[in-house]
Structure formats: structure tokens, C-alpha cells
Structure 1
């Protein structure tokens, strides 16, 4: 189901002349350019662009320091709803909230951890609770990090390809549902079942580089499990492209991803809902208009509806609404001056207290 033709709509070196890698946070229309150089603005460890208008990317900021962790370059990144997991090479790892790109909030950093080497890459579990991190260093295990409290992250386990090669080394890894797909250089494709997040189980292995192992960088260095067919793509530096049959329907890439819980910042996107039922926001992400659907069990109540930024500050007063018993549908025009990013919708009133996370584009 892939298109037979594609059309180039933007081609310029003004914003980005070269970059080691990019990551696009589709929910917020932000592009993270890593270890980059541009004809305008020069080089940067990392730079963020607003690409909500793909023909006119707008630079939002340049970054090389995260909570006192000074970095020469950001090698790779994984971003979900403005929360960025940054692999900073020899400097270590940083977890940063870029909801406000002009004032990013560093949630955690890691500079001392098991099998530390060149902090290279990682991927977040679908439920947003575990991060699988790899150092591109021979003989180094993959790390399992508990990020359920992003302000107090912790390495809770390590694992490897379970091969005899003492120089085994990972390149990239991707989570799709309950599987972690790893391009493992000399050891080829290795897939782990992460149903038990802290104790991954190796379930599939194919050596794309059958020649002798070494202490260099050869073999599988790219993996992609998100094709509509479920098939797995693997790129080997020496032998080319491999296509493997997928792991089954339970590994489809359509599963909804859970936002990172930011309750450690004093606000929560998943706070207990009190006084209302079946609270839903749509569309989410929202642009221009936000509709709130909820049910009130009994009685008439007046509810104050506000939009807060991720730090709990008022972003927009939406209304002071009389709710009727049963189904209620509330429609709000969002302030055009709102910056794109993650917000919290708060409903407060007599016997009513509820918070829901919403992304504004």
C-alpha cells in the first residue's frame, strides 16, 4: 500500500545543510535536526524546526546544554508529544520537555550507568513507561530504563543478543507493540519479546553478516518494522536489503501510543476523573477547534473549563459551563495565538475535577 510516485515539495539547504539524523514528532509537527549544520545559523548540537507548514520550516531554537549536561552533539533522538529522549554520544543521555522550545525543561540526565560507552540510540515502549537504550560500544548490553517517573529515571536491567561474540555491538532499535527490533551489526537482526519489559526474551534471530565477527562496524545497521504488511526491513552495510515476514497482527504499528506521564512536574495528564464519566477530547491533536464530550451522572453542575500549559500555567479560559445530567457536548474556539505543543484541559466545579492531555497544532 505504498505510493508508486512521490513529489518533492521542498528542497533547500538554508535551514539544514547537513545533519547526522532527524526525528519528526508528528503530533506536534516539530523536526529535530541532530548534530547539524545550516547555511543560516551555522552548526548546532541540536536544532528544532516547526514544519506545520512543510514549505516554510521555522527554526524554534538551538540547543547544546540540558540541565547542566553540556553536549558537543546530539547523535540521535526519540520524541513523543514534545518529550525528547536524547542520545548525546560521549556526554550521556538527557530527557527533556520541549513543550515550550524557548524554555525547555530538563527532566533527567544519565551520565553514569551500566555498560556506559558512546550513547547512541533508543526507543520508548508503546505504554510510555520503558526506554530501551543502546551504546554503540563493543561488548555493551542494551539498557532497560524505567521512565514512568521521568524526573527520577532508573536503569532496571540490561540484556544482549546472547551470542558468543564478545565484541557484539548494537546500532539501532525500534519498539513495535510487544517487540524490540534491533539491528545488531555483525549479529544481524535480533528481535526480543518485551511483554515483560525488564526481562526481554530473544525470539527471532537472523545473521545478515555470516562472515567472521570483528571489532569494527559491519553488518546490519538499520531496521524498520512499520510497513502496512507487518514485514520487517533490515539494511546490511555489506549485503544490502532484507525483507522478513512480520511477527503477526499483534505487532501492527497502529496501536495508540501513551504520552509520557509528567505528574512529577506538578501536573498530570492522567489525573483521576471525579464527577464526570466518559470524558473525551476530539480532535486530538486539535487545531482551531476543540470539542469536549462527557457524561454527568446526576444533578446540574457548573464547571470552569481552562486550558493550561504543561507547567500548570493558564493558557486560555474556555468557559464556565452549566452541565446537564447525561451527555454533554462542549465546543471551544482555541486562541490562534496558542503555540503548538502539549496542554492540559482542566474541568473544575462542585464535585467535578478532571484533567486531560491535548496536543495543539
Structure 2
């Protein structure tokens, strides 16, 4: 197997701290297209042998970004405000025993962790404790625990309603187990739904899509091994199946995600590449009529690698593609049955074959543009799994140039003064924390700009200067 990258030893950690740009199709030893490596940390630096799921938390008080990384024996927490030099803050050990499967999600500044370890239940951890860690890495303790189920394959959270859904548990035929987490430290079980069998993963939304029959309803979209189940879970005491969607050459309906307009649902089948010899396949359903979902088309990737978790952010679909790393796919023309790969970062350099080593999860929702990847070692014993941060080359070009712009005051109520020490300012764009473009201002090569933010709502924003340098601001 090709060696990964020689780690630079700093203190007691094997962290590759220097940025490695994607040049001529390679970032060091990693094949790439359009994405630079920010940092790689092997699992051994977290006192673990393997990684699995991952998620992110952005502190609403100051915009600091944190990575939450599932491990075989717990959950690691990292401050990634300096993505080239992240700080490993510590680990929440597993509630019972180690397991290859662990999953973590976030609601209201708390992390919720489940595992397939026997008797694990759901751990609840107050993420605000990460703001002031005196001597990292610490060994954390959970703040609360839910024991209404034991093992669980996955946890799904609807942040709009404050409900968590344990899936793949021993209850409700493995279907969703409803937990009210509106008071995070006092979770309450509120039943479940087992009418469509075992759920491997799911997405739950307050529906505001094209089907007027279900506007305002809380809908559960379950990837249920051989089908996609659409369930109205608004009334937890009386969940109702709306419909199911199926497709040909089914091996294992694994996970799926809505497009942002809720017109389409993109599904991954985890085992079809192995069973049928396909290249990576994503199945796209038309969900404009939820009572009668239709197969729209299938997208075939450029490699035979197995697909795992995929998420939509704007007009891009980010796919954790195991041995092919992460793939970034333009879905802006999905209504015309077009999906186009526009970039990738391959964390398993030796090959792109079907199998379960490599990128398990991708988290593409940090406002900074940093993308988190967690990788797994399954059968390739020489592979080094761990935690990666990558970033679009168009955003991370010469990140040191951030220091050639001063922004003051920050936080601010009305204005920020942007001054250039070297490069004149020609354009400033404002993005919200989801990556949505709010405003664009053009200038005639000015060295000082008084930028009005008085009409922005309170919160965290990104300023993109001259279409290449990004800087976080806080509107108070």
C-alpha cells in the first residue's frame, strides 16, 4: 500500500499541520481535484484504533467551529478555529464497550451519541464545556444519559422540533425510537414507529416542499434496507406511513438526503457496487408528490468504490465514497437528470475499488468552508484511519493572505472597517452560516472599506474578499 503522508511530529501528536495544496492532481500522497488538505490526524492520537461517524458544532456565541469525531471507543472533540493547527480538546469515552459503529448529532449546544455497543443508550454532552478546557486533552464525562434503548446504529435529530430518533435499535422493529430532547438533560421517550421495518439512517424535516398536502408536517424519510419509507411523525402517538419508494438492483438501502428545495431525494445503496459490479451509484427520486414518489434517474460515478454517507449543501452533493474519498457533485441541474462531479479528495490512495476502508463520513456545513472527513480501517490492515480537514482550493489559496486584511471592530453592530495592507479591495461578499450569499459589494480598488452590516440579523457571517479570502464576523 502506498504510504499516506509522513506525519510531522509536534509535541506528542502525529499531526500533519502544514497545508498541502492540490497541485497536478495530488496533495502530497493524496489524489485530489480542487480540494486542498488542511490537516490529517490519525486515530491513534485520540487513543483509538478506528473512526466512524462525525459531525460539527459552531459555537453561537463567537462562531468557533468544533469537530466531533466518532471513534471505536468514544467521541473526540477538536477546536478547529485554526484548521491547520486544530486543538484536540479531549474524548468522551464510550458508555459501555468499544464498537465499530458510533454516531453523533447536535441539538441546542449538546451532542447526542449512540453506538451499537451493547447497552450503550444515548450519551448527552454539553458542548459549551469545550469553550474553556484548561489542560487538553481531557477525559470528559457525559452530562446525561438516555437508557430507553440499548444499542443503536444511528441517531437522527430534527433541530426544528427538538426530537431525536434512535434508529437500528432493539425496539420498534429497528424503526425510529422517538425521544423528546427539548430539555436536553431530561430526554423523554415518546414511542416509535416499526411499521416499515429496520431503519439504517434517516432524515427528518418540517416539510415546506412542493406537495401542499404535507406543508408544516414533520416527515421522516427512512433508508430501510430495501426501501425508502416516508412517514408522517407529526403526532408521535400516531405515526402514519405516507408511501414507500423502491428501485431495481437493490442490495442495501443505506442513506439519503433531500435537495434543498425538497423536490428530490438522493439515495445511496451501500452494497450494490459489491453485489452487482456497478460504479458508485446514487439513486435519485422525484419527491414532488409524496404519496407517489417516482424514480427520476440514477447517477453513476467514475470509480467502483462503495458509497456511504452523502449530504446536500446548496447545489452541491458531498459524498463519502470510502476508497474513493469524498466526491463533490454539482446538482444544480438535477431537474434535467444531470449530476456532475466537480471535485474530490481521496483519503485512500492505493485504489478506488469497492469495499469499506476509507471515507465513512463527510461534514460540509462549516461556514468557514472547511470540510471534515472521518475515515475507517476495515480490511486493509496497513491503512491509517483518522480525521481530515480539506477545503476548496478556490477558498484556501494562500490562506495566509487573511492576515493582509484587517477587520475592526469584530463583533460589531453597524459597521466593520476593512483595510488592506497589500492587495486593494475590489469586492466583498457576505455569506450566512449556511453558505447562502446575502450581499455583494463592488469597489474600485480601495484600500479601506467601511462595510455596513446594520441590516443583518444578529449572528455569524463570512466576508469573502476579492473572491478568495474569507473572514468570519459576528453581528451583535
TM-score range, shorter chain: 0.5 to 0.7
Answering whether residue 205 of structure 2 is matched by residue 142 of structure 1, we say: no
Map Cα deviations across residues 316-346 of structure 1 (whole Å, 9 max, x no partner): xxxxxxxxxxxxxxxxxxxxxxxxxxxxxxx
Partner of 2:323: 186
Instruction: State whether structure 2 residue 171 is matched by structure 1 residue 75.
Output: no
What residue ranges of structure 1 are gaps of 5+ in the alignment?
257-361
Aligned length: 243
8 Å contact from structure 2 (residues 172, 192) kept in 1: no
For structure 2, list consecutive stretches of 5 or more residues without a partner in the other structure: 1-63, 67-78, 80-126, 130-140, 207-217, 377-383, 396-429, 438-476
1:225 aligns with 2:364: yes
TM-score, normalisation: structure 1: 0.62
SS in 2 for 1:65: coil
Change (3 A) 1:250 1:221: farther
Residue 28 of structure 2 aligns with which residue?
none
Structure with the higher helix share, 1 or 2: 2
Please list the CA deviations of residues 23-47 of structure 1 after superposition, one character each: whole Å capped at 9, or x if unmatched.
110111110100124xxx7974320
The correspondence for 2:241, drawn from 103, 106, 109, is 106
Deviations 1:145-164, CA, capped at 9 Å, x for gaps: 1111111111111112212x
Q: Give the deviation of 1:19 after TM superposition.
A: 1.3
Name which of 197, 201, 211 aligns with 2:350.
Answer: 211
1:128 aligns with 2:262: yes
Residues 271-350 of structure 1: matches in 2 within 5 Å?
A: none
5 Å-filtered alignment, 1:222-261, equals 222-237=361-376, 238-246=384-392, 253=434, 255=436
Query: Are 1:121 and 1:134, in contact at CA under 8 Å, matched by a contact in 2?
Result: yes
SS in 2 for 1:19: coil
Structure 2: how far apart are the matches of 1:120 and 1:44? 14
Work out whether residues 320 and 327 of structure 2, in 8 Å CA contact, stay in contact via their aligned partners in 1.
Answer: yes
Secondary structure of the residue aligned to 1:6 is helix
RMSD of aligned Cα (Å): 2.5
Which has the bigger relative contact order, CA under 8 A and spacing at least 6?
Answer: 2
Deviation at 1:239, TM superposition (A): 3.4
Q: Give 1:57's aligned residue.
A: 187
